Structure 1
Amino acid sequence: MSPRPPSPLPGRRSVLRGSLAASAALALPATVTAPALALSGRPKAGWGVQTGDVTTDSGLVWVRSDRPARMIVETSATESFRRTTRWHGPLLGPGTDFTGTTRLRGLPSGEQIHYRVLLADPDDPRRTGEPVPGTFRTASTHRRGGVRFLWSGDIAGQGWGINPDLGGYRVYEEMRRLDPDFFLCSGDTIYADNPILPTVTLPDGRIWRNVTTEEKSKVAESLAEFRGAFRYNLLDENVRRFNAQVPTVIQWDDHEVHNNWYPGQILDDDRYTVKDADLLAARSLRAFGEYFPISTLPTGDAKGRVYRVLRHGPLLDVFVLDMRTHRNANSPNRQPDDTNGILGAEQLAWLKRELSRSRATWKVIASDMPLGLVVADGAVNFEAVAQGDPGAPLGRELQIAELLRHIKHRRITGTVWLTADVHYTSAQHYDPARAAFKDFAPFWEFVSGPLAAGGFPAVKLDGTFGPEQPFVKAPTRANVSPAESPQYFGEVDIDGASGELTVRLREEGGVLFTKVLQPGRVGQ
């Protein structure tokens, strides 16, 4: 086991004793079939609770029932729930896979909110299941409290699922003990294209043992299989404890559908009977919106959008990007003009507009793919922004150049890029003094992950935007299991008094790299 991180600083969020006990009691078996819970007695919420897209005065609460039920949320300023406010949520049924989200509004800013979810029998509202508690902290409208959050991505990838011999996804328990204000999940929240088998033989002959489910025994094609893929990670009690205490900001990338997918793609993959990537993406997006509390995605609907901005008080705005849904086809990525690029014209215009409107000290751009790392898709095509040509911007680089030029000319300060995707951790500083493209202000990009997937060697840097890499830690071979290599996540700490932003790149058990950035300073 990795050593435990230090206890949170005094005055931070208290440990959620009640919900931890409740989550521990909800441990699910190593082999699960649907439906996972019996239908006798009162409605049950065996998949835990979670919150998402929390702001200064609002938040979304999520739950899944084992049968039709009315969702009810009670909130209180204390764990005793002596005084409560009741929120009547949706009726949970098969149309949303018995999941539902309730929006809480008018909450006090900068306060600890204790909540519990009750599931009521639709035919007899007095019959409710055991309440499932959780907690979260609203963002503060004042600077004094500061902001601290974590980020990472890449969960249940390459066939490395929930291993009970290792204690499951134990990195989630380490992150929970750090007690952040929220967690930014940078995509690849599932691996719909990677089945989870009962056992995998490691290079040294040891046996990796997975929790398995029927839906995860094959690639996801139907809506039911996508729902099962999103449900899989909730079998882990570390994840359920984490979700009950830490709000999430979720984005998606390729593995929610298929490796390196893009709109209009027809899959060349013999494992699939459904070859239309757009059809698979629509099914996945619907399940994605059912299993995560996301403000722009209505539960049970394949419409809506993933990209959005979350205002977290005067210190921080988080701009959540979607580099998957609106991109052009993967190609050699050297076209001299590229309107659609990796963001699409509409999303790029939205991002420029919202960055210009932001008055937050720091503008975190949550990118599901890195900018200057060369991520290939086969022998000649490329998957991310860069393509390895260190010269003037080409292909998808043109959209990024337009965005960086806008940030410079509008004098937008405090932009920091956070991402995952490549299954290792690194820090990149981009500087026009080293770049082929000169019309931008220096900035930092930080990479962290995976959380529960295979580790991969570092890829090359592309010189177009002048990246320099003061830190990188990556395996030397492909698909190193979590049993052989620590998992990675990052921490961002914004000081309320000075406005300093500190980034820590972490692995299970400790800090690997630290960078302190000063507010309003260009070229740091």
Structure 2
Amino acid sequence: MCPRVNSRAQSALSRREVLRAGGALAATGAGLLAVPPAAAAAAGPFAHGVASGDPLPTGVLLWTRVTPAAEALPGSGAGPEVSVRWEVALDEAFTRIVRRGTVATGPARDHTVKADVTGLAPGTWYWYRFRLGGAVSPTGRTRTAPATGSALARLRFGVVSCSNWQAGHFSAYRHLAERDDLDLVVHLGDYLYEYAPGGYQAGEVLVRPHDPPVEMTTLEHYRRRHAQYKTDPDLRALHARVPFVVTWDDHESANDAWSGGAENHTEPAEGTWAGRRAASQQAYAEWMPVRYEPGGRLYRRIAFGALAELSMLDLRTYRSRQAAHPLDPVISDPARTITGSEQLGWLTAGLVTSGAQWKLVGNPVMIAPVRFPSTLSTRELEALSQLTGPLEGVPVNVDQWDGYTADRARVLGALRDHGVRDTVFLTGDIHSAWAAELPADPLTYPLTRDSVGTELVCTSVTSDNIDDILGVPPRTASVGVEAAIRVANPHLKYVELDSHGYSVVEVTPAAVQMDWFALADRTDPASAARHNASFVVRAGTQRVQRTGEPLR
């Protein structure tokens, strides 16, 4: 869920060359594909870059999209069937090629290409590329997961969510791509947005308009929008640099989506919800580097030796409809669900039986309970309601786990009853930074000291937050709001409502640490970033503590 605002209204390149090209294009505001799809086609058959994802100890998924003919534009349904070759090597010069193969593609899958490569060595960096005729794609770099059960001293990855093309440039991706210390990137949802140009903006800010120039409702629309996002030079550079592990939230289909509809969907004017959701899921399967095919299961678990398991959740496909308001008695109805019964059983069983030290959960919406203080002004409450969903001026996020308390109790109860330690939920969605402890009983916390896990929430890459909605400078009106929220919720140790940017997480046997980095200006394609805060979860403690030093 995100603010309910105006919901209707080429040769192989080295890493240095990729980053230099991306930075130069971004700095001029004329990135390779901040332009219409037809112009993208002129950039060559690999105009949408390369990507990898879902690393396993002996394999990884490779992705690209080809434009084999001028008419084969994204979403067009036109163009020839072609065979695309792929190569994986141990060196960037491709003198030691270890795997190669061919994949057929065509208009039925929008000329996207996926190669699920196997037979690789665990914990190893590889380089990969694609060929179509005499054309060669940019070179990508990827890494396999460590061997099953192996000791691992460190895992470090970027964490991002809520990247709205119209609200700004993706400088956060550029800063992550420029790092030399990341094993992967975790994207927690809202990779793209469904709105038409001018929709969903605070202060009528429109940095760059969406293509197609309508709200996405059809397969053609979703394909074109995915294509547009994959023309951003900073996103292309990051995809080419490290593998991604992704899940969706709601804007990959429509705002506040649930199993039978969405807030931002109207029947019959926009067709059936089943048809729209199927279109969004097909485009996602085609355009994202993920082991998912339409009608399949997106939630999955990826292991990193004995150190950590990452469980990625799907909290849109199976959920019950959101409660009508915060006092709606259905909120605690055990028959309602945010996960679906099968996914909930998979999640709790995995947490209880995991052999990994750290149980990480890729969680699209916040699980920590949040009570909003009555001391806030009407204007502050209205601004918060843009992030959490309004009800007669009283903001309560019934789209988060707060609206599905029976499922949350089942998850936290399983952690408590089985003595599970070192569970960390990594969360996006709410366009702000939070660090929380997860009390088994929020009403008695912290007197009972019964935290059963922790939650670390990343900011948005570009999507609006409190200062944008209020139209005030950062770190002004929000400071008092943050303090009031913390007083009303003693398990919340950090709340920052203004910044856009990215996070970096490090996992070691001793601790999990998240660093938050804030962009100076989301509308500036060359924006600098600064370290904002760091919090650490020490092994066995179930607590979050501030630390002054970012990861080195």
Range into which the TM-score falls when normalised by the shorter chain: 0.7 to 0.9
| SS of equivalent residue, structure 2 residue 311 | strand
**Distance 1:129-1:105 versus aligned 2 partners, 3 A rule:** same
The C-alpha deviation readout for 1:154-199, integer Å capped at 9, x for no partner, is 0116x425xxxxxx3212111112231111111111111x223599
2:134 to 117, 125, 128: 128
1:329 to 313, 321, 324: 321
Q: How far did 1:63 drift?
A: 0.3
Task: Give the Cα–Cα distance (whole angstroms) in 2 for the partners of residues 443 and 201 of structure 1.
Answer: 35
Given that 1:330 and 1:377 are in contact with CA atoms closer than 8 Å, whether structure 2 keeps it comes out as no
Task: Give the Cα–Cα distance (whole angstroms) in 2 for the partners of residues 181 and 366 of structure 1.
Answer: 16
- Please list, as runs of the form range in 1=range in 2, the aligned pairs for 1:289-368 lying within 5 A after superposition: 289-295=285-291, 297-298=292-293, 302-331=294-323, 332=325, 333-335=328-330, 336-368=332-364
**Distance 1:252-1:269 versus aligned 2 partners, 3 A rule:** closer
1:147 to 133, 155, 167: 155
2:220 aligned partner, one-letter code? A
Q: Which fold has the larger relative contact order, with Cα–Cα distance below 8 Å and residues 6 or more apart in sequence?
A: 2
2:340 aligned partner, one-letter code? G
TM-score w.r.t. length of structure 1: 0.80
The C-alpha deviation readout for 1:238-297, integer Å capped at 9, x for no partner, is 1111110021111111111111121223767679822533321111011011111112x1
**Distance 1:361-1:268 versus aligned 2 partners, 3 A rule:** closer
Query: Could you tell me which residue of structure 1 aligns to residue 458 of structure 2?
Result: 448
Matched, 1:16 2:15: yes
Task: Give the Cα–Cα distance (whole angstroms) in 2 for the partners of residues 242 and 512 of structure 1.
Answer: 22
**Distance 1:507-1:21 versus aligned 2 partners, 3 A rule:** closer
Given that 2:416 and 2:452 are in contact with CA atoms closer than 8 Å, whether structure 1 keeps it comes out as no
Task: Give the Cα–Cα distance (whole angstroms) in 1 for the partners of residues 23 and 130 of structure 2.
Answer: 17
Task: Give the Cα–Cα distance (whole angstroms) in 2 for the partners of residues 25 and 155 of structure 1.
Answer: 21
Given that 1:198 and 1:212 are in contact with CA atoms closer than 8 Å, whether structure 2 keeps it comes out as no
Query: Could you tell me which residue of structure 2 aligns to residue 123 of structure 1?
Result: none
- Note the residue ranges of structure 1 that are not aligned, 5 or more in a row: 1-14, 120-126, 162-167, 388-394, 476-485
2:123 aligned partner, one-letter code? G
Q: How far did 1:379 drift?
A: 1.9
The C-alpha deviation readout for 1:300-350, integer Å capped at 9, x for no partner, is xx2112111111222111110111111101113533432341111111011
2:16 aligned partner, one-letter code? R
Q: How far did 1:69 drift?
A: 2.7
**Segment drifting more, 272-281 vs 436-445:** 436-445
Task: Give the Cα–Cα distance (whole angstroms) in 2 for the partners of residues 518 and 176 of structure 1.
Answer: 28
| SS of equivalent residue, structure 2 residue 329 | coil
**Distance 1:324-1:108 versus aligned 2 partners, 3 A rule:** same
Task: Give the Cα–Cα distance (whole angstroms) in 1 for the partners of residues 297 and 404 of structure 2.
Answer: 21
1:516 to 515, 529, 536: 536
- Please list, as runs of the form range in 1=range in 2, the aligned pairs for 1:366-405 lying within 5 A after superposition: 366-371=362-367, 372-373=369-370, 376-379=388-391, 382-385=397-400, 387=402, 396-405=404-413
Matched, 1:59 2:79: no
TM-score w.r.t. length of structure 2: 0.76
Task: Give the Cα–Cα distance (whole angstroms) in 2 for the partners of residues 260 and 198 of structure 1.
Answer: 15
Task: Give the Cα–Cα distance (whole angstroms) in 2 for the partners of residues 65 and 307 of structure 1.
Answer: 28
Task: Give the Cα–Cα distance (whole angstroms) in 2 for the partners of residues 170 and 195 of structure 1.
Answer: 22
Query: Could you tell me which residue of structure 1 aligns to residue 225 of structure 2?
Result: 229
2:167 to 160, 164, 179: 160
Matched, 1:421 2:429: yes
1:506 to 510, 514, 517: 517
| SS of equivalent residue, structure 1 residue 235 | coil
- Please list, as runs of the form range in 1=range in 2, the aligned pairs for 1:242-257 lying within 5 A after superposition: 242-257=238-253
| SS of equivalent residue, structure 1 residue 517 | strand
Query: Could you tell me which residue of structure 2 aligns to residue 33 of structure 1?
Result: 37
* Percent identity (aligned): 23
Structure with the higher fraction of residues in helix conformation: 2
Matched, 1:474 2:497: yes
| SS of equivalent residue, structure 1 residue 506 | strand
Task: Give the Cα–Cα distance (whole angstroms) in 1 for the partners of residues 42 and 221 of structure 2.
Answer: 20
Query: Could you tell me which residue of structure 2 aligns to residue 177 of structure 1?
Result: 178
- Note the residue ranges of structure 2 that are not aligned, 5 or more in a row: 1-13, 26-30, 69-80, 372-386, 468-477, 520-528, 545-552
1:210 to 195, 208, 211: 208
2:83 to 55, 59, 70: 70
Task: Give the Cα–Cα distance (whole angstroms) in 1 for the partners of residues 431 and 122 of structure 2.
Answer: 36
Given that 1:377 and 1:383 are in contact with CA atoms closer than 8 Å, whether structure 2 keeps it comes out as yes
Query: Could you tell me which residue of structure 2 aligns to residue 114 of structure 1?
Result: 127
